[in-house]
């Protein structure tokens, strides 16, 4: 059923975005089409992220990589994602039957019955985070150089959490800078981005607040992992009110993985020790939504300072 009906005045942010044609309703919560206006805002923000990343004394030039929204299933399984976040994962299945099986499938479709019995897992899964595709690629290259490595990533990602909250999409894009190296190198990188990220977002005229955070680990053991992550200060998020003032949305995240991915993938630094990693992630749709929320649905009417930061 359509989210916004013609005779009902749109009240929520999602309804307003769809009514104005900025997002496009597909009939599934968390799966939306994007208008040209929405895409232009994201493109301009990505340009700002790139420029901000190049600021500072002796910035390291990142290697740029862009990935599709699917990844190697074996790499996904080895990553440990299913151990921590099984509730968010999306796997890709395809029909693996014969002619008779195809006939049965069509018959079930005709009768509105469950037709998925002969669907089997394929060699790919939906990408849960942009950086998950990267780690085995870097490991395959061998030991890092003395100054480590830095990568600039972007990918569509999937997380199974359907919601009427437009900031909690099931399919969304994540931009990331991922740093590999020694503990001091990657911690310095994260600390620098905590400062640069806050300055960058304040240029966009949105209210921001940085807070200690944790990932949504699953189950009883997940509660311990959440506490450990917070106790060690491994994750910070930049929060902006979008759907709720009381529960602002994480739009940027700053993560120190310690040697977790180094151990998982055999990442080695220049001295033969297990490499550490850190990343800063930008939820592109969430940032765009924050801008529409706080500056209105007409981008031409946004504050001059915001337009200058984005469009120059």
> For strand 171-181 and strand 91-95, is the pairing parallel, antiparallel, or unpaired?
unpaired
- What is the structure's pLDDT at 271? 97
Q: Quick check: helix, strand or coil at residue 67? A: strand
Transcribe 7-54 into DSSP letters.
Answer: TS---SHHHHHHHTTSEEEEEETTEEEE-HHHHHHHHHHHHHHHHHHT
Q: Which domains does the chain have, with CATH numbers?
A: 35-90+128-311 (3.30.930.10), 91-125 (no CATH)
244 within 8 A of 120, measured Cβ to Cβ: no
pTM of this prediction? 0.92
Can you tell me whether residue 113 is helix, strand or coil? coil
Q: Note the pLDDT of residue 1.
A: 45
* Both structure tokens of 1: 């059923």
Ranges under pLDDT 70 in the chain: 1-8, 57, 218
Give 28-38 pLDDT, tens digit per residue. Answer: 999 999 999 99
pLDDT value at residue 2:
54
How confident is the model at residue 233, as a pLDDT?
80
């Amino acid at each position: 059923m359509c989210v916004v009906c013609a005779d009902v005045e749109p009240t929520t942010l999602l309804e307003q975005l769809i009514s104005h044609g900025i997002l496009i309703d597909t009939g599934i919560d968390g799966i939306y089409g994007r208008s040209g206006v929405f895409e232009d805002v994201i493109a301009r923000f990505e340009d700002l992220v790139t420029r901000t990343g190049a600021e500072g004394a002796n910035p390291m030039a990142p290697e740029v990589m862009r990935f599709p929204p699917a990844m190697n299933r074996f790499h996904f399984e080895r990553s440990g994602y299913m151990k921590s976040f099984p509730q968010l994962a999306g796997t890709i299945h395809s029909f693996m039957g014969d002619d008779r099986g195809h006939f049965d499938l069509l018959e079930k479709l005709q009768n509105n019955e469950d037709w998925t019995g002969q669907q089997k897992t394929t060699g790919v899964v939906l990408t849960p985070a942009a950086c998950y595709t990267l780690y085995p690629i870097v490991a395959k290259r061998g030991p890092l150089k003395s100054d480590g490595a830095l990568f600039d990533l972007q990918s569509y990602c999937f997380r199974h959490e359907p919601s009427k909250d437009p900031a909690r999409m099931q399919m969304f894009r994540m931009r990331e800078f991922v740093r590999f190296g020694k503990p001091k190198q990657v911690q310095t990188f994260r600390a620098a981005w905590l400062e640069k990220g806050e300055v960058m977002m304040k240029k966009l005229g949105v209210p921001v607040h940085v807070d200690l955070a944790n990932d949504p680990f699953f189950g009883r053991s997940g509660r311990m992992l959440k506490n450990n992550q917070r106790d060690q200060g491994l994750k910070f998020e930049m929060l902006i009110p979008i759907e709720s003032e009381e529960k602002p949305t994480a739009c940027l995240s700053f993560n120190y993985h310690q040697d977790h991915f180094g151990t998982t993938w055999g990442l080695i630094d220049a001295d033969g020790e297990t490499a550490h990693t850190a990343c800063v992630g930008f939820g592109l749709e969430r940032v765009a939504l924050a801008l529409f929320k706080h500056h209105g649905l007409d981008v031409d009417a946004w504050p001059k300072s915001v337009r200058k930061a984005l469009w120059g």
